[in-house]
A and B are shown apart, each in its own frame.
Chain A
Amino acid sequence: MKLKTFKKGVHPEEYKFLSEHKTLERLPIPEEVFIPVHQHIGAPCRPLVEKGQTVKTGEIIGQSTGFVSSPIHATISGTVKTIDNFPHPLGINGLMIHITGDGKDEWIKSFDETSNWENLLTDEIVDLVQKAGIVGLGGAAFPTHVKLSPSKEKKIDTFVLNGCECEPYLTADHRMMVEQSEEVALGTRILMKALNVSRGVIGVENNKPDAIAAMEKATSAFNNIEVIPLKVKYPQGAEKMLIKAVINRNVPTGGLPLDVGVVVNNVGTAIAVAEAVTKNKPLIERVVSITGDGIKEPKNVIARIGTPFQNLIDFCGGLTDNTVKIIMGGPMMGITQHTLNVPVIKATSGILCLTDLSVIKHKEYPCIQCGTCIGACPMNLLPTRLARFAQVENWQMAEDLGILNCVECGSCAFVCPSQIPLVQRIRIGKLRINEMKRKAKLATV
């Protein structure tokens, strides 16, 4: 049978073997955590605690300041040492709540199974998800409760669970599906109920046969949930590509999955939702793949949010001497780090450590018009032209050619035989155009 997938895209070397068979391990409770007030898409949190205050695990310490925002919780019990700027994995520095632990890991309340979740109303589920501070754990960190609150006129009929993990190296979702398939299935059902949809689809790439088997087993009792194996291709985990692959719908340009009646969530998010709704457990930990040829012992660990990268690296036997690059996330879209003092945040799906052997040696050649980038672009754009127009700051032409539709997957730069930083230039172009649009909007108001 021909496996389903989307059109175009690329297939980078997978390197999943480094950690795909490493069972999840729980990282010891860290001595101190740094919890950024801003680790999701949307407005940053307002700290609710003060210096010197004692907190318990699971206690809310930052309140969301808007609808598109998400609260943060203490991830260990202890004392707030300070609230200050520290190195943030998404930028240079960011405001964080620094908690030193008391070593007891005392929870604010013991988990107890809530009364049967199936009796909860849609709004109650969404409320629990919001209070638990759940955001998309695939890496984008978009607040989940926003996705679960589509406007009334949008008719949602399908829920898609993203188990692609199309980024090379990363195996966090893979291990969750293998080891926590029951929770994934439960989370899927809760999310389906929250959206009031009858059809659930789980898309898993075919390089994870054990995950497909586990998910099929866990969902076998539910006829309305289907596990679909997909051909291995990047960026299949991008929402638009995944929807195309599993149910063959085209999200319109500039539109959202909601426009075709679909909501997509990640495997890790489903588990977090299951725990939040059935156990009242806020999002205080997540699975992180620590992998790459620069780490001595690649692992998949469950780490508390706010744990410094250094702790995770040490837990995995440390770095090899020739490690030169530390990336948060996968190799295609991850963000390089200048220090190991940055904390794990809700969006940290992996820590990739690369040695000088696996770092690209860049030498840029002129564009030879080979069109390989065009053949790779999953959005069917013309990356070489977009990058060129962005480079010469011809914003009008760039916009006319659809630069704002770019999903920044990096497939173009990955395949370019001239090693032109295509997606990087396009990214800058997008930023500039969006900035100009905002300014123009302000000027007209």
Chain B
Amino acid sequence: MEDTKQPIPNEEPANTEKPKPKPVGKEKKPEPQYLLSSSPHMATIDRVPKIMWTVIAALMPAVVYGMYNFGFNVLLTVLASVIAAVATEIVINKMRGRESSVADGSAVLTGLLLTMTLPPAFPKAYAAVGAVFAIAIGKQIFGGLGYNIFNPALLGRAFLQASFSVKITTWTAPVGIDAITTATPLGSFKFEKIMTPYFDMFMGKIGGCIGETSALLIIIGGVYLLVKKYADWRIPASYLGTVFILGGLLWIINPEQYPDPVFHLFSGGLMLGAFFMATDMVTSPVTPKGTWIYGFGMGAVLIIIRLFGGLPEGVMYSILFMNAFVPLINRYTRPKIFGELKK
């Protein structure tokens, strides 16, 4: 069913260019053969691999900063996860008898995104297990790229959280001082009511996952994607906007109990999630109106988890939760056809 390569009965080979069979007439001299195809005969240069590799490039500042912040060790975690993801992709392609889809970059991206959400000292073998799960169960089981419902990297992370809940909440302090455990700004606030300075949060001199600490570098990469139109600006706008407004309202109601909205924006994995996870094309709505609903839903779920739930952080679950609604959102937000009359 999802096999686009299978010829569909009655469909003309619409876009495959092939030389025409000889004209019916009684032509004598052989004529040059011109290509026949159905219009359009022009296309943009954007292709799926280009999009994927651009997203990977946009993540690089945050990854490099993660290495600088948490030490060389991080590079090995990244490699373990990416290699496991690519290997899983290759094996499953083979099993399904498909052409290799490694070159499109999506497996590399999934592996990379997964490590971004892991604590610096997370065991490499476990990271690899998470990557295998992300590709196999998060993506390929649905039919491969384009067919998955949930963001594969986040599904891998959810699996790791369920399986290794202690390891995944053990944070090390920055500047490579190994094995000194620390707390993330969200954790310190939630459990100890200690505020972390905003400037540190913005620049990334804080504890946290490998790729989420520096809001600045994530925003740089994210804005690049928005400018290239490889990410829909409505998603970070509605997600971050909802968090800011809802968080702000609660802060106004009770500033003792709840942190201010700026803290919400720059803490935890929100920036990473808003720019790189929620904007995943496959698992976000296709309609403009739908993306606003999606972003609002994620923001609301995030605030509920952060302020009223048992966990300090809720970016992952907020995105996964709304991923599940995407097909429904798409269905009920069909744009009005040009000239369609109000009903």
Contacts and interface: CB of A to CB of B under 8 A. Distances in A.
B149 to A, nearest CB: 11
Interface string A88-116: 00001100000000000000000000000
Contacts of B38: 421, 423-424, 427
A338 to B, nearest CB: 4
A360 B46 CA distance: 12
Given A370-B281, A382-B334, A392-B8, A92 B23 contact: yes
A335 B41 CA distance: 9
A251 B34 contact: no
B15 interface: yes
Given A325-B35, A368-B282, A392-B8, A414 B14 contact: no
17 contacts: A253-B338, A253-B339, A253-B340, A323-B34, A327-B39, A336-B36, A365-B145, A366-B145, A370-B51, A372-B229, A375-B288, A381-B337, A405-B337, A405-B339, A410-B39, A413-B15, A428-B10
B232 interface: yes
A323 B335 CA distance: 41
B190 to A, nearest CB: 35
Contacts of B283: 369
B20 interface: yes
Given A332-B40, A339-B34, A368-B281, 15 more contacts: A7-B338, A251-B339, A324-B34, A332-B39, A354-B41, A365-B146, A375-B288, A382-B335, A392-B8, A417-B47, A418-B146, A421-B38, A424-B38, A428-B11, A432-B10
A334 B40 CA distance: 7
A152 interface: no
A225 B101 CA distance: 57
Contacts of B281: 368-371
Contacts of B192: none
Interface string B38-50: 1111111011111
Nearest to A431: B12
B225 to A, nearest CB: 12
A2 B36 CA distance: 40
A365 B11 contact: no
A252 B40 contact: no
A85 B25 CA distance: 9
B40 A331 contact: yes
B287 interface: yes
Nearest to A7: B338
A-B pairs with lowest CB-CB distance, top 6? A424-B14, A421-B15, A410-B40, A366-B146, A371-B286, A370-B281
Contact of A366 (B4, B24, B36): B4
Interface in A364-395: 364-372, 374-375, 378-382, 384, 391-393
Contacts of A405: 337-339
Nearest to B20: A338
Given A359-B17, A417-B48, A331 B41 contact: yes
A413 B12 contact: no
- Chain A interface size, as a band, is 35 or more
B15 A362 contact: yes
B41 A250 contact: no
B162 interface: no
A367 B148 CA distance: 11
Contacts of B49: 365
Given A362-B17, A413-B43, A418-B48, A367 B34 contact: no
B25 A413 contact: no
Contacts of A420: 4
A337 B44 CA distance: 23
A24 interface: no
Interface in A11-40: 12-13
A261 interface: no
B330 to A, nearest CB: 8
A325 B24 contact: no
A419 B47 contact: yes
Contacts of A417: 44, 46-48, 50-51
Interface in B239-273: none
B36 to A, nearest CB: 5
A250 B339 contact: yes
Interface string A260-283: 000000000000000000000000
A32 to B, nearest CB: 15
A335 to B, nearest CB: 7
Contacts of B36: 336, 338
B15 A364 contact: yes
A68 interface: no
A384 B38 CA distance: 17
Contacts of A327: 39, 41
Contacts of A339: 23, 31, 34
A380 B336 contact: yes
A360 B45 CA distance: 9
A379 B338 contact: yes
B287 A374 contact: yes
B341 A252 contact: yes
B144 interface: yes
A168 interface: yes
A333 interface: yes
